[in-house]
Chain A
Amino acid sequence: MGRLEGKAAVVTGGGRGIGRAVCLAFAKEGADVIVNYASQDKPAQEVVEWIGKMGRKAVAVKGNVAIKADVEKIIHTCVDHFGKIDILVNNAGVSKPSMLYKMTEEQWDEVIDIQLKGPFLCTQVASKFMMDRKYGRIINVTSSAGLWGTKGQINYSAAKGGVVALTKSAARELAGYGITVNVIQPGYVSTEMFDRVKSDPKLLEIYTGRILLGRFAEPEEVAPTFVFLASDEANYITGQLICVDGGLGMT
């Protein structure tokens, strides 16, 4: 029996990268999954098909997590299809790099809206259903940039830093309802976000040199930590930042 047997999960940004690996890992452990995506239909549909082949249910829902009506649609689809929501993964992200002096207000707003307002809205809408059932698992995603800052991404790092505080405040508010709220810092993962770094040998060497294990992670190496935090094995863990970064945070 899977460790998430019969659970209903929502994964935002579930079509690609880490989100995709999380959707598949959840389904493998027995969960039904809402695969949210913002723009590209095809990857999300692929995830839904694969989950179907695993014998679990999945629905792809297009929506922008920064828009309340979209968030309601995403969460309500889960409750309508699966009768409940047990697990929420706030994974949707976007990066709009630019140095501080030339960053536009639009670049700032877009990243803050999706990375910070998005988790707020999703947590707010989902937690109402979780509170009724006195059970819930909320997992947020931060980044090395959010913990230690980075050059050329002040919007991204501010949003990701905010997610850590959002996690802890939500953990405090929701603890009385059997809901845990945690945040994962995945380090450098081989996803599209790192395509630019991986295509430049010099840059790749600098980035790899920061990781104790000496390599990037595959999304599949990060996904099991999401499964663990979503499972009942992690009952007593809340408000925590978990680093799955190959030792990046120590360098």
Chain B
Amino acid sequence: MRLKNKKAMVTGAGQGIGKAIALKMAQEGADVVVAERNRETGIQTQKEIEALGRRSLSFAVDVADRHQVDQMVAEVVATFEQIDILVNNAGFDRPGSLLKTKEEDWNAVFGVHLTGTFNCIQAVAPYMIEKRYGKIINLSSVWGKRGAVSEISYSTAKAGILGLTKSVARELGRYEINVNVVLPGFILTPTVSQMAEKYQRLIIEQTPFRRPGKPEEVANVVAFLASDEASFMTGAEVEVTGGWNM
């Protein structure tokens, strides 16, 4: 077990990639905090973690709301005493072209991806600095590098996460805190399955593996980065794409 007795917090852990990450970390021995806007799916993940014999807490929070994040982190530290691993995965998509995207959709997407990631890091980092130990893993996307038609808010927010990751890696490197970013390609999740079928087929044709990835295949990478096996990795981008976007 590579994360034995570590305390991890995973945002957006109620479904998709976030849920796969939370369960993988529990399998590797971590106690896991589920931060999930949807109370029901969050509690479901919590139960599955507990069924694996690990401790779990779930919080129905909107990571874009600083007050909610601070409250959650205070409660987690009161119970678990520390946070070793933070995975900023929470996010959603509001597809829309440049000309048609509404301001509230732009703000909502930026709020959860960028402000949410910033909020969680700023709230958790002091505890990591104190212990001179911490693993922060952010979830960006291949779309953040290549852009995408009718995904202006999402792809821009995901690009922002790359810059955020690298600045945080620079600031926290002196405390031996590892900060890395994972870029999933076409992964079978509720978000991706909303895409037009024609577009899904096109991506698969462009993917050397000729298939979409599974959330578990992304979770494996995140768990690796969260472990001490990756102790010398920081500021790194890791793509999980089946070769798409090479």
Contacts and interface: CB of A to CB of B under 8 A. Distances in A.
B239 A221 contact: no
Contact of B210 (A176, A234, A243, A246): A176
A56 to B, nearest CB: 19
B217 A244 contact: no
A227 B227 CA distance: 13
A213 B173 contact: yes
A187 B236 CA distance: 12
A172 B242 CA distance: 10
B230 A225 contact: yes
Interface string B192-208: 00000000000000001
Contacts of B221: 233-234, 237
B246 interface: yes
Contacts of B210: 175-176
Given A171-B246, A236-B217, A225 B233 contact: yes
A212 interface: yes
Given A224-B230, A233-B224, A242-B238, A212 B246 contact: no
A176 B174 CA distance: 43
Contacts of B213: 236
A217 B232 contact: yes
9 contacts: A212-B235, A213-B176, A222-B232, A227-B229, A233-B220, A240-B246, A243-B233, A244-B236, A245-B233
Contact of B243 (A175, A214, A222, A233): A175
B152 to A, nearest CB: 27
Interface of A: 168, 171-172, 175-176, 187, 212-214, 217, 221-222, 224-225, 227-228, 233-240, 242-247, 249-250
A234 B236 CA distance: 16
Contact of A242 (B176, B218, B236): B236
A217 B239 CA distance: 23
B38 to A, nearest CB: 27
Nearest to A173: B208
B171 to A, nearest CB: 9
A239 B213 CA distance: 15
A238 B208 contact: yes
Contacts of A228: 224, 229
Contacts of B220: 233-235
A237 B239 contact: yes
